[in-house]
Amino acid sequence: MRKVSVFGATGSVGQNTIDLIDRDATAYDVVALTGGANIEKLAEDARRLNADIAVTAHDDRLDDLRAALAGSAVEAAAGQSALTEAAARPTDWVMSAIVGAAGLPPGLEALKQGATLALANKETLVCAGKLVMETAQSHDARLLPVDSEHSAVFQALVGEDMEAVERIIITASGGAFRDWPLSDLANATVEQASNHPNWNMGQRITIDSASMFNKALELIETKEFFAVSPDQIEVIVHPESIVHSLVGFKDGAVMAHMGAPDMRHAIGYALNWPERRDLPVERLNLAKLGQLRFHEPDEARYPALRLARNVMERGGLSGAVFNAAKERALDHFISRRIGFLEMADIVETVLDRFEATDSLLDAQFDLDNVLQTDHLARKWADEAVTKTTG
Ligand code: NDP
């Protein structure tokens, strides 16, 4: 039996992962399931899958979790350090599906144990790509992408030599506002931004899709994961979300990965890798689809893409700044303190402030510095919001 853990088990990717584990439950020995506020779901899944331990990220919910697990053999724990401790338990395969930079410490810990890390949490690579890739290498651990775009690229590269790769083309659905006039975006509401046309995902990534901050994070993730230069990475808007991404080779060939927009494909691919097994996803009928459309993204509409390109060129700890400032800007948009378009302004203000402050972005690349940078960027994002809103 394979020992598996799911970090962020109560979320959208986590629940899709559990759906696949449930379908073949005798093949898996579940070590740890983790969640945040959704104690009921965490306890229910931990009981059914007979997990060794369930962890909530919230210290003050430990009693609730214990009560929900009463009478079962599942151990309960709470808090950020408990998450990292759970990641240190011997496991073959770990799903990293916590949302935000909070996913970084447990992900790194799993790699240090030599586990295969299925990475949905793109923030891990955006904040600390160099550190994560080096940790995986030095502990002989494997990193498998779960973002559908990166899974697509990974699959298109099987058997290929990276030397032959000319470019990687990441597709973007365009999110909730792809057909809105630019002039209406300033007044876009949280509810409108939370409604993705193609994918059913958590609220934060759905809003990030509307602003293209999700695609911006994915550009950086592509650079870190596949070790390509920024000018080898392109973004193309593809409203149908059927082509998940493409790889262009030196000889002009382009390999595209296609499938229905269902995260269980990318999750199942990472779960079954290096094999391919049956997955409960809809089969494509291209004749029924009729047409697939593609067009270039408008950078005036999506400043997040320009900022991500600056971050890729700048390197150092700028990815950690970008992600943390984005996370806080998103918090403030969700709590209705700032408007939709102001999120990019806040992120740019924080990046500029770091750039203007000697050596902050070029500090040594270790976990402590990444976390300190993350903390400071959040503080400066809050200050920038206060300045904007008064
Ligand atoms: P969700 O918001 O649906 O779920 C997030 C999970 O993380 C939940 O289990 C949540 O617990 C937990 N969580 C929230 N805050 C913390 C914290 N501070 N510490 C520890 N755990 C926490 O997110 P998604 O599943 O949509 O996304 C997860 C990750 O996967 C993100 O990085 C996202 O970018 C990436 N991703 C998601 C895709 C999707 O289809 N949803 C596609 C590709 C990538 P609780 O809900 O109990 O509070």
pLDDT in tens, 45-56: 999 999 999 999
Indicate if the pLDDT at residue 60 is higher than 90.
yes
Residue ranges of domains in the chain: 2-145, 150-262+283-289, 315-389
pLDDT of residue 390: 77
Name the token pair of 89. 């338990």
Question: Are 136 and 143 within 8 A, CB to CB?
Answer: yes
- Pairing mode, strands 93-96 and 53-56: unpaired
pLDDT in tens, 148-172: 999 999 999 999 999 999 999 999 9
Mean pLDDT of 38-51: 98
pLDDT in tens, 75-120: 999 999 999 999 999 999 999 999 999 999 999 999 999 999 999 9
CA of 12 to the centre of ligand 1 (A): 7
SS3 call for 8:
coil
CA of 205 to the centre of ligand 1 (A): 8
Cβ neighbours for 241, distance < 8 A, ≥ 6 positions apart = 171, 173, 198, 199, 261
CA of 34 to the centre of ligand 1 (A): 11
- Pairing mode, strands 2-7 and 53-56: unpaired
Going by the DSSP 8-state scheme, the letter that residue 188 receives in this structure is: -
Does the domain spanning 2-145 belong to CATH 3.30.70.3460?
Answer: no
Q: Do domains 2-145 and 315-389 have the same CATH topology?
A: no
Ligand 1 pocket check: which of 59, 84, 98, 328 to mutate, most ligand atoms within 8 Å of Cβ? 98
Q: What does the DSSP assignment read for 130-166?
A: HHHHHHHHHTT--EEE-SHHHHHHHHHTTT--GGGEE
Helix axes of 318-334 and 303-314: crossing angle, nearest 10 degrees: 150
E strands of 8-91, at which residues?
28-35, 53-56, 75-78
Q: Is the CB of 311 under 6 A from ligand 1?
A: no
CA of 38 to the centre of ligand 1 (A): 12
pLDDT in tens, 243-267: 999 999 999 999 999 999 999 999 9
Rounded CA separation 16/269 (Å)? 13
Mean pLDDT of 16-29: 97
Indicate if the pLDDT at residue 198 is higher than 90.
no
CATH T-level fold of 315-389: Rna Polymerase Sigma Factor; Chain: A (1.10.1740)
pLDDT in tens, 334-362: 999 999 999 999 999 999 999 999 889 99
Protein residue closest via CA to atom 4 of ligand 1 = 11
Q: Is the CB of 209 under 6 A from ligand 1?
A: no
CA of 40 to the centre of ligand 1 (A): 16
pLDDT of residue 113: 98
Rounded CA separation 370/363 (Å)? 9
The pTM of the full predicted model, rounded to 2 decimals, is 0.97
CA of 286 to the centre of ligand 1 (A): 32
pLDDT of residue 154: 98
Radius of gyration of the chain from Cα atoms? 20
State the chain's maximal CA–CA distance in angstroms: 62
Q: Is the CB of 95 under 6 A from ligand 1?
A: no
pLDDT of residue 172: 97
Atom index in ligand 1 nearest the CA of residue 9 equals: 9
